[in-house]
Structure 1
């Protein structure tokens, strides 16, 4: 960890939605002295050790560096990667972390025209970046199988992390997606071919199917991790609670919301 206590008020500003690519953008403008000092205090340096393009919108990005060694990480934790020349950042969920060798892996979803998407599309092996974390985003430590993850394209990295965590072995994954064929290709590539996908409809009628499936699983004692689009989480969460599912069986984290920025 960085060798000083960090004041939460000094954390990087999150001014973009987390469904942008899980990477940062190299600085193109000179950084001020104060900004450089804060980045040294708050951020860890890393190098892009490898990139694999899985589809037109998804890339696997592996980071490495001494600052990634001997780091405590658990499935559900997040990192915040610096964007541009200031202190703005985007928040991403690592799929995996090798603290012994100083490596971690992210799944970058390049969606939209933001700077993060442009960076992910142009990312090359050997590029450098800076990040803050890892730190807690979703506390999944006390969840026991069977676990059901509901989400979307922004949740695929978390799904991979859950798959590899001991307490979540055999977790079920139910995701809404804009492009079923592309999402299926990506999930197959990262070993999640068993995940169930639903085509996202403009009027959200597909969520009735999601509610029905989640309620069926709830009757079998499942515990739930709800992620992705804020409005979808709210709807299926209400359905679960209305059916008597205790709050202790539900974890929720919105990664993005239509028309809003800053979610992490």
Structure 2
């Protein structure tokens, strides 16, 4: 998809001497091969580099990316990892780009990113373990969960993924670009009243013997987990990982 949106041109902050030393010790250098603007709030980022070759990766793992100042890093879910070519792909959600108080480090980094830029990454490391038999995986989450659903490929239930989102129309376009046309999106409502619809949908899906990956906002995960356990879905069919909570950073 060709974007009509122009990337911001803010300079990415550069790390200081101590941060550069620590990055060289503990992180992998990478280069930005491509940045595709899918919407004003989503960037599809392809990274490449020799240090990304011969790396063991499994679906659900996380990759932390240094934001260019100090040791600040943000966590992303790789969509794929080509160990032979040394390439991986991330989806960045710029959730607060329009905030009057200013965007957070992850949003600033993704908004200013251009092809050819360098960065340092840590991982991949364990985050959400989706290994094992038991049927296809349905992802419940939000905008921060799109990459996980895309990474599942044939292991996911493409018609079952369910996301709570702020912008329904834009999210559908992004999901289509990610090959997730069948995913369902529910617009957020005041007081989280929309989650009643999500509960009903997950209850319906439970009869299909799928596994559930509950991700995204911590409180939404807790509510969906309770709903599934109430109808008798065994814990072995439920995996959960909170990516964020209001007022908190660094959950994963």
Q: Using structure 2 for the length normalisation, give the TM-score.
A: 0.89
Q: Does 2:241 align with 1:253?
A: yes
Q: Does 2:118 align with 1:118?
A: no
Alpha-carbon distance in 2 for matches of 1:68, 1:222: 33
* Alignment match, 2:160: 172
SS at structure 2 position matched to 1:208: helix
Alpha-carbon distance in 2 for matches of 1:129, 1:52: 17
Question: Residues 198-243 of structure 1: CA distance to partner in whole angstroms, max 9, x if unpaired?
Answer: 0011211111111111111112322110000101000010111111
Q: Give matches, 1:79-90, under 5 Å.
A: 79-90=63-74
SS at structure 1 position matched to 2:203: helix
From 138, 147, 150, the equivalent of 2:137 is 147
* Alignment match, 1:28: 14
* Alignment match, 1:67: 51
Checking the alignment, whether the CA contact within 8 Å between 1:149 and 1:174 is kept in structure 2 is yes
> Higher relative contact order at CA 8 Å, sep ≥6: structure 1 or structure 2?
1
Alpha-carbon distance in 1 for matches of 2:161, 2:235: 20
Alpha-carbon distance in 2 for matches of 1:169, 1:143: 14
Q: Using structure 1 for the length normalisation, give the TM-score.
A: 0.85
* Coordinate RMSD, CA, aligned: 1.5
Structure 1 unaligned segments of length 5 or more: list them.
1-24
* Alignment match, 1:186: 174
Question: Residues 115-167 of structure 1: CA distance to partner in whole angstroms, max 9, x if unpaired?
Answer: 2211211111000000100011111111432321101100000010012xx54
Superposed displacement of residue 249, structure 1: 0.6
Structure 2 unaligned segments of length 5 or more: list them.
1-10, 97-102
Q: 1:201 to 1:128 in 2, by over 3 A?
A: same
Superposed displacement of residue 111, structure 1: 1.5
